[in-house]
Chains A and B, each alone.
Chain A
């Protein structure tokens, strides 16, 4: 199967780790008095609600609260652990779905000989040197495609072709929600020998797909949207696991984390430019690319008293709210969409967002660890390594307070643990188990 471009884009665009904005903590009541300082705070606190179409993971700084430093630090720490868990759960769920599928449905581990057009070189299992060379060439092709797409997206974003980007995103999520889930369901039915008729299947897929499109691109309950985003990340990861050749997959994982590092941290990196452009324009990110753990902002609650805070909150709010995209900027200026009381905001607003590309690549790593060999220890080790990497990345975010890439640390840990557990720990544990020695 030669996948279409939109599939490539969808994973390109889906990697970003973004933090939603936090409210002005000192303004516990939304009075007229507070609006002025808030507006200045808004400008100061411009978070990097960035990258509509960020091809690579970017961790965006959390908004600085306009309070004395001690309180700010404490708030960061107090909310730090909660955010880590808010990301652990969806990442774990995605990985569990992928591993469960890989272990039960054999379709995704069968090598059919078909490849994506992005990895044109065939891996010859006979000669190690040739195989290595081909995997590096495949990686170069894949990464260049990604870089090319990123640049196109940056250009599109710079010239404000939002409709084009949105159309592109809708097309790619259409394909994921209908075609790939149809394939997935078909394979699951085959594995468990379930008889299914086409009318029922059409009804199921139709409902699933349409609700998914609505939830992701328009409005919907937060949990449902999160669930759909996890499911499409898992589907995407499964496609990669099936169609990427063995060695190329590992090299691509390594290369993409290096690319992520460069693209986000270098001054001329495409992602950094994207982030800065979005920052200047104060625009929200398209929700089809970002998983948001924050509360959904309510639409239609007019609160004219705080146009400034409403503005920044609307920007901060991920979830279903932000699909309004550019048009809602005007609404916001009129002070639409205000939220509940500030006390609730304290807890809910400090949501955190993670790009779907991060989910996808984490799941690819763990899925491949589960696919190659029957060893569960390797899978478990990679899982723990990725979670610790994510934890460290968020810790660095809390310390440095600037945009950071989310892939490198986790993928590095994951790769190190995969190869070392597979080659070193596995024989040791197997010998111990056969003698029933316990350490």
Chain B
């Protein structure tokens, strides 16, 4: 256990998000602010959903019955998903308003950040915060002494937690891109699809510890969302083609 598991799981869960942060966000101060504000909005949604869950548990008189406890938790999960999407929409409205406000008072053409970039950064903010909240306590526990699954639970707890966190971080990023694009173009079916997919992913996680049933479908959805987000943010096969051929042409001209 300990250090090997700690570093391994930390890099699995946060590696891509960290590299995205370093390569795309760090240089631009405005993006850092949008990222942290996105994280804040996710946190607010979590707070409200925890409050609702807490009230529900207290209303059922501090649940002793494990089935009721589980049922309330599942309710909490779905409610939290819905609230996260509501806050994503709220963040979208805030960013649009900020964009318009800043554009109106400056002589130039507003900020030099487009809505698509903001969508990506906002999604990443949501993803990083969601991943951090899911994973950090588990990581700190993995450092200390202990035996995994001593009561008969799965041996693969840490690795699957890290993999799931990674998937969710990437998913939040892609959902952010697609969601904002849907809002921009007023395609409400896109928004409904994002919400439905998020609910689906949360639902799949309910199948844990049956990891074979939960992880592969979640990664399948991640791949699907990656493709969708790529095309939604203006990518196309033509672009990819030009990118590859341009690179080849550059290499040839360099020789």
Contact = CB atoms under 8 A, between A and B. Distances in A.
Task: Answer yes or no: do A and B interact.
Answer: yes
A433 B137 contact: yes
B164 interface: yes
Contact of A377 (B37, B77, B133, B209): B133
A391 interface: yes
A358 B255 CA distance: 57
A384 B208 contact: no
Contacts, number: 121
B132 interface: yes
Contact of A420 (B47, B80, B111, B138): B47
Contact of A438 (B37, B106, B140, B205): B205
Interface string A412-439: 0000010011011101111111011111
A377 B137 contact: yes
A234 interface: no
B33 A436 contact: no
A113 interface: no
A173 B36 CA distance: 34
B40 interface: yes
B29 A70 contact: no
A385 B43 CA distance: 9
A439 B29 contact: no
Contacts of A82: 29
Nearest to B171: A438
A74 B108 CA distance: 8
Nearest to B69: A431
B53 A70 contact: no
B132 A380 contact: yes
Contacts of B29: 81-82, 84-85
B138 A433 contact: yes
Interface string B14-57: 00000000000000011011001101100100110111011000
B249 interface: no
A425 B46 contact: yes
A88 B30 CA distance: 12
Contact of A435 (B53, B54, B70): B70
Contacts of B46: 425, 428, 439
Interface string B78-102: 0011001000000000000000001
B205 A437 contact: yes
A81 B47 contact: no
Interface string B102-123: 1001111001000000000000
B213 interface: no
Given A82-B29, A439-B80, A439-B202, A380 B136 contact: yes
B32 A381 contact: no
Contacts of B208: 435-437
A214 to B, nearest CB: 31
B201 interface: yes
Contact of B164 (A376, A428, A438): A438
Nearest to B136: A376
A438 B202 contact: yes
A424 B36 contact: no
A374 B143 CA distance: 13
A70 B40 contact: no
Determine the interface band of chain A, counting residues with CB < 8 A from chain B.
Answer: 35 or more
Determine the interface band of chain B, counting residues with CB < 8 A from chain A.
Answer: 35 or more
Contacts of A439: 46, 49, 77, 80-81, 84, 130, 202
Nearest to A86: B29
A255 to B, nearest CB: 24
Nearest to B205: A438
Contact of B77 (A81, A374, A381, A432): A432
A436 B40 contact: no
A388 B36 contact: yes
B106 A391 contact: no
B219 to A, nearest CB: 13
A388 B40 contact: yes
Interface string A65-77: 0000011011001
Contact of B33 (A71, A391, A425, A430): A391
A420 B137 contact: no
A429 B30 contact: no
A345 B107 CA distance: 22
A387 interface: yes
Contact of B129 (A384, A427, A432): A384
A203 to B, nearest CB: 33
B137 A391 contact: no
B178 interface: no
Interface string A3-47: 000000000000000000000000000000000000000000000
B177 interface: no
Given A435-B70, A435-B208, A420 B51 contact: yes
Interface string A380-403: 110011011001000000000000
B36 A391 contact: yes
B107 A70 contact: yes
Contacts of A374: 140
A243 to B, nearest CB: 27
A374 B139 CA distance: 12
Contacts of B36: 88, 384, 387-388, 391
A437 B134 CA distance: 10
A389 to B, nearest CB: 10
A425 B30 CA distance: 29
B132 A428 contact: no
B98 to A, nearest CB: 10
B182 to A, nearest CB: 21
A385 B40 contact: yes
Interface of A: 70-71, 73-74, 77, 81-82, 84-85, 88, 374-377, 380-381, 384-385, 387-388, 391, 417, 420-421, 423-425, 427-433, 435-439
20 contacts: A71-B107, A74-B108, A77-B111, A81-B33, A82-B29, A84-B33, A88-B36, A384-B36, A384-B129, A385-B43, A417-B43, A428-B50, A429-B50, A429-B134, A431-B73, A432-B77, A436-B164, A436-B205, A437-B206, A439-B81
Given A391-B33, A428-B49, 8 more contacts: A81-B33, A375-B137, A376-B137, A381-B43, A384-B36, A424-B47, A424-B54, A429-B133
